[in-house]
Amino acid sequence: MTKQGALNIVHVVRQFHPGIGGLENFVEQLATHQLNAGCRVTVVTLDRIFDDRSGRELPAFDTHRGIEIRRVRWRGSRRYPLAPAVLNRLRDADLVHVHGVDFFCDYLAATAPLHRKPMVLTTHGGFFHTSFARGLKTAYFKTVTRLSLSRYRAVIACSEEDARTFRPIAGDRLSLIPNPVDVDKFAALADPQSSTLIYFGRLAPNKEVGRLIAWFAGLAERRARWRLIVAGKPMGVHVAELVEQVEALGLSERVEVHDTPSDSQLRQLIGRSSVYACASAYEGFGLAAVEGASAGLFPVLSDIPPFRNTLDRIGYGVSIDFADPASWNGSYRQFEETFEAFRASFDLGRVRDAVEPFAWSAAIDAFNDVYDRVLGRSRRRIGHVRVDVLEKAEAASQVLGAAHAGRPLMVAFCNAHSANLAARDKGLRDALGQAMVLNDGIGVDIASRALFGDRFPANLNGTDFVPHLLGVARGSVRLFLLGAAEGVADAAAAAIRDRYPHVQVVGTRHGFFGENQDGEILDIIRRSGANMVLVAMGQPRQELWAARHYQQIAGPVLCVGALFDFLARRVPRAPKTIRKLRLEWAFRLAQEPRRLGRRYLIGNLAFIGRILKQRLAGHRL
Which element (helix H / strand E) includes 365?
A: helix 360-375
Confidence of residue 6 (pLDDT cuts 50, 70, 90): confident
List Cα–Cα distances, 487 to 120, 490, 592, in angstroms.
Answer: 53, 5, 22
pLDDT value of residue 591: 76
More confident residue, 617 or 186: 186
pLDDT value of residue 587: 74
**Mean pLDDT, rounded, for 499-518:** 94
Is the confidence at residue 3, as pLDDT, over 50?
A: no
Percent of the chain with pLDDT over 70: 97
**Mean pLDDT, rounded, for 260-271:** 95
Common-topology check for domains 4-176 and 378-586: yes
Nearest to 186 by CA among 124, 256, 283, 265: 265
Cα(102)–Cα(49) distance, integer angstroms: 16
pLDDT value of residue 328: 96
Percent of the chain with pLDDT over 90: 78
pLDDT value of residue 130: 58
Q: Which of 21-30, 350-359, 531-540 has the highest mean pLDDT?
A: 531-540
More confident residue, 120 or 605: 120
Tens digits of per-residue pLDDT, 217-231? 999 999 989 999 999
Confidence of residue 151 (pLDDT cuts 50, 70, 90): very high
Q: Residue 332: CB partners within 8 Å, gap ≥ 6?
A: 218, 219, 222, 223
Please, what is the angle between helix 541-549 and helix 518-528, to 10°?
70
β-strands 275-278, 298-302: how paired? Answer: parallel
Tens digits of per-residue pLDDT, 532-554? 999 999 999 999 999 999 999 99
Confidence of residue 572 (pLDDT cuts 50, 70, 90): confident
Cα(488)–Cα(528) distance, integer angstroms: 19
4-176 under CATH 1.10.1760.20, yes or no: no
Q: Residue 165: CB partners within 8 Å, gap ≥ 6?
A: 123, 126, 128, 157
Confidence of residue 240 (pLDDT cuts 50, 70, 90): very high
Nearest to 534 by CA among 552, 559, 571: 559
The Cβ of residue 132 has, within 10 Å, a number of other Cβ atoms equal to 11
pLDDT value of residue 325: 95
pLDDT value of residue 512: 93
Q: Checking phi first, is residue 12 left (phi over 0); if not, alpha (psi -120 to 50) or beta?
A: beta
Is the confidence at residue 242, as pLDDT, over 80?
A: yes
Q: Residue 257: CB partners within 8 Å, gap ≥ 6?
A: 230, 231, 239, 242, 243, 246
Q: Which amino acid belongs to residue 216?
A: F
pLDDT value of residue 160: 85
Q: Residue 560: CB partners within 8 Å, gap ≥ 6?
A: 413, 462, 463, 466, 483, 534, 535, 536, 542
The mean pLDDT value of the chain amounts to 92
Q: Are 343 and 273 in contact (CB under 8 A)?
A: no
| Cis peptide, bond prior to residue 540, ω within 30 of zero | yes
| Cis peptide, bond prior to residue 18, ω within 30 of zero | yes
Fold of 378-586: Rossmann fold (3.40.50)
**Mean pLDDT, rounded, for 469-496:** 94
pLDDT value of residue 2: 42
User: What angle is formed at CA 268 by the lines to CA 267 and CA 269, rounded to 5 degrees?
Assistant: 90
Nearest to 335 by CA among 252, 222, 249, 250: 222
Cα(188)–Cα(247) distance, integer angstroms: 33
Cα(146)–Cα(174) distance, integer angstroms: 12
Task: Tell me the three state secondary structure of residue 315.
Answer: coil
More confident residue, 33 or 136: 33
Confidence of residue 188 (pLDDT cuts 50, 70, 90): very high
Radius of gyration of the chain (CA): 30
Nearest to 303 by CA among 286, 294, 293: 286
Q: Where are the domains of the chain?
A: 4-176, 196-358, 378-586
Q: Are 460 and 395 in contact (CB under 8 A)?
A: yes
pLDDT value of residue 301: 97
Is the confidence at residue 55, as pLDDT, over 70?
A: yes
According to CATH, what is the number of the domain 196-358? 3.40.50.2000
The greatest distance separating any two alpha carbons of the chain, rounded to the nearest whole angstrom, comes to 96
pLDDT value of residue 91: 87
Task: Tell me the three state secondary structure of residue 244.
Answer: helix
pLDDT value of residue 129: 57
pLDDT value of residue 133: 67
Confidence of residue 4 (pLDDT cuts 50, 70, 90): very low
Confidence of residue 168 (pLDDT cuts 50, 70, 90): very high
